[in-house]
Amino acid sequence: MDITTLTIHEAKKMLENGEITSYELTKAYIDRIKKIDPIIKSYVTVCEDRALQQAKMIDEKRKNGEALGSLAGIPIGIKDNMCIKGVKTTCSSKMLENFVAPYNATVIENLEKEGAVILGKLNMDEFAMGASTERSAFFPTKNPWNISKVPGGSSGGSAAAVSADLAIATLGSDTGGSIRQPSSFCSTVGLKPTYGLVSRYGLVAFASSLDQIGPITKDVEDCALMMNVLAGHDSRDTTSANLEKLEYTQFLQNDVKGLKIGMPKEYIGEGINDEVKSAILSAADKFKSLGATVEECSIPVTEYVLPTYYIIACAEASSNLGRFDGIRYGYRAKEYSTLKELYEKSRSEGFGEEVKRRILLGTYVLSSGYYDAYYTKAQKVRTMVIEQFKQAFNKYDVLLTPTSPITAYDIGSKTDDPVAMYLSDICTVSINIAGVPAISIPCGFDSDNMPIGMQLIGKHFDEKTLLRCAYTFEKNTDFNSMKPEIGGI
């Protein structure tokens, strides 16, 4: 048996029973990374020594009968925009190619407190700006289901690694779909928690009012196990919610009887690929057959969410990325004769095309004379989005949509058309604007055998209903058990 195919809950049992050690499990992943990742290219940095040492320490503790955390000895991969002290945090950018973080993100502290083993840092679109991981300054990551296709993004490395058994689970970050869309492209489970549920401290900011960290896992139970550790108030993040800590695993019930599911028509209409649409409609039928009610509903403001999203996200990004100026850390141009030139050259050379495009967009919409026309108006639409989701949730427990209007596409086929790329974010961005939680789970395959994901959207801080709904679907279908065959290996 290949132990890298295990889920967290399976591996936990075997570790507890002494059938395997954390060292063996971690070593198996390191070996598999060495063998498979040259094809998939999901890791930017592999922390081999650090991981094996952590694993040994956990095994030692276990042997001595010491108290162990809930993720003791579980090897996890981290998107490369979360700081780990002493480890490179590159954001897949030339700007931070050699930046070693001087501190730990709160999520890293929380994972390590529970005994998780950190395998390494995962590839992404530069500064999380993109939806295909082709915008990594280093290399594109391949989709394990077909290595000529993109894994989605920006957390493409995180989703591909889980899909290809290169990590038992990973962390991604989601600003406009960056956990859910790659999960859908790679057939993994990806949760974007409610804004404020998981601390952002130590997550390199893209758009502060939209960013959330969340888990990408092999199944829904693992997602709940990860949320047990990730969710919680952090005094270092003012936007983190101060709520009672929950055990998410208790909500894993195979039961959706009486659950009211809404299907906003704007998300399954025009522009949605037919195969995706039929997979979602089949999923709806499945929920009905399991005792839930499914009804069409409407969120009319949807037609304005893309421009709203790109205005808010770029505005915040233009300010957040100002600190990458070549002064204290990060890339500095070799030649400059004035301070202005140092800034201009370092930033021109250090940032990639897409990042520069968004900084320029964001700078423009915040400029005096344009602020009200763009930023203020976008904030007004944001209020409407929040309001319309609230109204929908007065009637429904969860909303069901596709995660992406399309399945994974060929590498290089869309990079020349940024607007087409932005349009494919249509199903996911509203959720960040509204701040509500959403999960993407596998719900089918297209005729090219590329995965299709469905998105379940919940009320603020109602991850429990999402998890119950997703768990029930997973237990009653077999999409989740499908595994990619990587390059014939």
Partner 1 sequence: MEYEVVIGLEVHAELATKTKIFCGCSTQFGGEPNTHCCPVCTGMPGALPVLNEKVVEYAIKAGLAMNCDIEQNSKQDRKNYFYPDLPKAYQISQYDLPLCKNGHLEIDVDGQKKNIGITRIHIEEDAGKLNHDEFGGGALVDLNRACVPLIEIVSEPDMRSSAEAKAYVEKIKAILEYLEVSDCKMQEGSLRADVNLSIRPKGETKFGTRTETKNLNSFKAITRAIEFEIKRQIEAVENGEEIIQETRRWDDDRGIGYAMRGKEDAHDYRYFPDPDLALIKLSAEYINNIRENLPELPDSRKQKYINELGLPEYDANIITGSKMLADFFDEATKYCDNAKSISNWIMGDLLRILTEKELEQVPFKPEYLAKLVVMIDSGKISSAIAKKVFEDMFETGENPEDIVTKKGLVQISDEGAIKEIVLKVLENNPQSIIDFKAGKDKALGFLVGQAMKESRGKANPQMLNKMFLEELNK
Given the rule CB under 8 A, which residues bind partner 1? Answer: 81-83, 89, 91, 96, 99, 101-103, 105, 200-205, 207-209, 235-239, 315-316, 318-319, 322-325, 327-329, 339, 343, 363, 366-368, 371, 375
Min CB(343)–partner 1 separation in Å: 6
Is the CB of 83 or the CB of 231 nearer to partner 1? 83
Catalytic annotation present for 70:
no
Min CB(325)–partner 1 separation in Å: 6
Is the CB of 44 or the CB of 203 nearer to partner 1? 203
Min CB(342)–partner 1 separation in Å: 9
Q: How many CA atoms lie within 13 A of 356 on its CB side?
A: 13
- Least Cα distance to 223 among 480, 489, 408, 411 occurs for 480
Is the CB of 56 or the CB of 88 nearer to partner 1? 88
Please give the single-letter amino acid code of residue 332.
Answer: R
**Residue tagged active-site, from 42, 178, 187, 240:** 178
- Least Cα distance to 323 among 208, 194, 416 occurs for 208
Is the CB of 203 or the CB of 439 nearer to partner 1? 203
- Least Cα distance to 176 among 196, 136, 220, 206 occurs for 206
- Helix (H), strand (E), coil (C) string for the chain: CCHHHCCHHHHHHHHHCCCCCHHHHHHHHHHHHHHHHHHHCCEEEECHHHHHHHHHHHHHHHHCCCCCCCCCCCEEEEECCECCCCCECCCCCHHHCCCECCCCCHHHHHHHHCCCEEEEEECCCHHHCCCCCCCCCCCCCCECCECCECCCCCCHHHHHHHHCCCCCEEEEEECCCCCHHHHHHHCCEEEECCCCCECCCCECCCCCCCCEEEEEECCHHHHHHHHHHHECCCCCCCCCCCCCCCCHHHHCCCCCCCCEEEEEHHHCCCCCCHHHHHHHHHHHHHHHHCCCEEEEECCHHHHHHHHHHHHHHHHHHHHHHHHCCCCCCCCCCCCCCCHHHHHHHHHHHHCCHHHHHHHHHHHHHHCCCCHHHHHHHHHHHHHHHHHHHHHHHHHCCEEEEECCCCCCCECCCCCCCHHHHHHCCCCCHHHHHHCCCEEEEEEEECCCCCEEEEEEECCCCCHHHHHHHHHHHHHCCCHHHCCCCCCCC
Instruction: Return the number of other C-beta atoms located less than 10 Å from residue 370's C-beta.
Output: 13
Is the CB of 200 or the CB of 464 nearer to partner 1? 200
Catalytic annotation present for 94:
no
Min CB(316)–partner 1 separation in Å: 6
Is the CB of 315 or the CB of 434 nearer to partner 1? 315
**Residue tagged active-site, from 42, 92, 93, 154:** 154
Integer-rounded Cα radius of gyration of the chain: 21
Min CB(367)–partner 1 separation in Å: 6
Min CB(115)–partner 1 separation in Å: 23
Min CB(462)–partner 1 separation in Å: 22
Min CB(107)–partner 1 separation in Å: 10
Look up residue 269 and give its two tokens. 């209409």
**Residue tagged active-site, from 12, 41, 79, 121:** 79
Min CB(169)–partner 1 separation in Å: 21
Catalytic annotation present for 178:
yes
Q: Just list the catalytic residues.
A: 79, 154, 178
